[in-house]
Amino acid sequence: MHQYSLSGRHSYKMVIGRDAGLSYGHWVDIDTAVGAKGIESTTWTESGVRVRFPTGHEVFVPARFFLYGR
């Protein structure tokens, strides 16, 4: 999710979860320089999800943080 503040600042947030409505999941703040380039690939496994960015950065979120809902 790309957001703008009133001051003109850009920020990026990513939500990892199974709910398309974004009502439950694990939110991750992404550095502006990394988020601006988009996502290169996403790999889902039973243990979690790994997101790779074109900058070479990676984020791994364990499944326990975004499964089993409230």
Choose between 66 and 60: higher pLDDT.
60
User: Does residue 6 have a pLDDT over 90?
Assistant: no
Instruction: Answer whether 63's CB lies under 8 Å from 50's CB.
Output: no
Mean pLDDT (whole number) for 34-49: 92
Going from the C-alpha of 24 to that of each of 31, 37, 52, 63, the distances in angstroms are 22, 25, 22, 13
Q: Write phi, then psi, for 34 (nearest 5 degrees).
A: -80, -45
4 pLDDT above the threshold of 70: no
Q: Span 7-30, mean pLDDT?
A: 76
If you compute the radius of gyration of the chain from its CA atoms, what whole number of angstroms results?
13
pLDDT of residue 41: 96
**Continuous segment of H or E residues that includes residue 33:** helix 32-35
- At residue 26 the predicted structure's pLDDT band, cuts being 50, 70 and 90, is confident
